[in-house]
Amino acid sequence: MNKLMTRIGLGTAAMGLAAMTIAFGSAAAFAAPVTAAAPTTTTTLGPPAQGTGVHKVFLYVDTITGGGSPTPAAGCAQTNLFQPGQVVVFRMDGVNAAAGGIDLTPATVLNAYVKVPGLTRIPLVYGTHGKASYWTAAWTVGKTYPMGIVDFWVHVTTTAVPATTTSPAVPQEAGTFSQIGLAPPSQLTIVKA
């Protein structure tokens, strides 16, 4: 500040100091956090799609394109919209949480299937697809199958796990996935061609 006073004279320096004080005061006011009232939102969640009971088998299920006519825009693309004549491929993976989180494989599953309304059970088959292994089942949508949401479900029954020296026995368990209760845009839907 002494150098500034020497250069511009005492009167101007005093005025400059006052201007600097006002400027710094204003800057401090801008630097202070501003607290504005945030809008209040309320979110109401729907009930869990798989219910609120105890689950011992957890399933991941989705649908992908599997060909057919009309030909889908992309092969093996995850989607829930299919036209009559197209092939819906159901994919399933999961774990038996009751048995310590073991993967669902042919060694740990007694049976696994998809149930589409109006059709017989479609067995899920375990296989390796690229670098991943999971269960699949294919359904070619019939030309006369009704349009709209398809309330399919997937059922898995595990094998019993015998006791070992470090773990108790785990009885046979069952797990079911149903898309009933999911938001409509997420449900398997048959649409017009």
Tens of pLDDT, residue by residue over 103-146, are 999 999 999 999 999 999 999 999 998 999 999 999 999 999 99
Amino acid at position 125, single letter? V
Cβ of 140: how many Cβ atoms within 10 Å? 16
- Residue 41 belongs to a domain: no
Longest Cα separation, the chain: 99
pTM exceeding 0.85: no
- Residue 51 belongs to a domain: no
Is the pLDDT score of 100 beyond 80? yes
Is the pLDDT score of 6 beyond 60? no
Whether residue 64 sits in one domain with residue 21: no
- Residue 47 belongs to a domain: no
CATH of the domain at 144: 2.60.40
Domains: count for the chain: 2
- Residue 36 belongs to a domain: no
ω before 39 within 30° of 0 (cis)?
no
Tens of pLDDT, residue by residue over 14-67, are 444 444 434 444 444 445 556 666 677 777 766 666 667 778 999 999 999 999
Nearest to 179 by CA among 167, 191, 190, 188: 188
Whether residue 167 sits in one domain with residue 93: yes
Whether residue 61 sits in one domain with residue 138: yes
Cβ of 92: how many Cβ atoms within 10 Å? 23
Domain that holds residue 18: 2-28
The pLDDT of residue 32 is 56
Whether residue 83 sits in one domain with residue 18: no
Whether residue 174 sits in one domain with residue 136: yes
The pLDDT of residue 34 is 60
More confidently predicted of 80 and 51:
80
